[in-house]
Amino acid sequence: MVGAVGAVVAVVTGGLVLAGLVTDLHRARGAADLGALAAAGPLVRGGAPDCAAAAEVVRRNGAVLVACAGGGDGSVLVRVSVVVDGAGAPVLPSSVEAVARAGPAGDENGSR
């Protein structure tokens, strides 16, 4: 009986840790998307990417801006990192990263 309870506790704990990791990954993806959109704002008027705005938006969404760079096609690429809540567990990464790209849309044929 004790072994069965221990097994159930182990499975539930593992599920909760995995759910936390997925939540952190979604947080990173959302922060990257919003950061890329914030950085791409000035591109519409021909300006340079606003990486300071991206950093602020990313920070407010619980992530850290790792990289922000303009692309040759008028877009901006943003990379963010989120510290994993369950960090310290030997099988979990200490952080997760996500990348997002934003910029002016092309025409119907995909050209700009």
Residue 9 within any structural domain of the chain: yes
Residue 62 within any structural domain of the chain: yes
pLDDT of residue 88: 58
Which residues span the domain enclosing 16? 2-102
Residue 108 within any structural domain of the chain: no
Residue 109 within any structural domain of the chain: no
Q: How many domains is the chain built from?
A: 1
**Most confidently modeled of 19-23, 44-48, 50-54?**
50-54
Amino acid at residue number 40: A
Position 9 pLDDT exceeds 90: no
Residue 26 within any structural domain of the chain: yes
Residue 111 within any structural domain of the chain: no
pLDDT of residue 6: 78
Mean pLDDT, residues 54-65: 97
Residue 43 within any structural domain of the chain: yes
pLDDT of residue 82: 94
Is 20 exposed, middle or buried (CB count within 10 Å of its CB: 0-12, 13-18, 19+)? middle
pTM of the full structure: 0.78
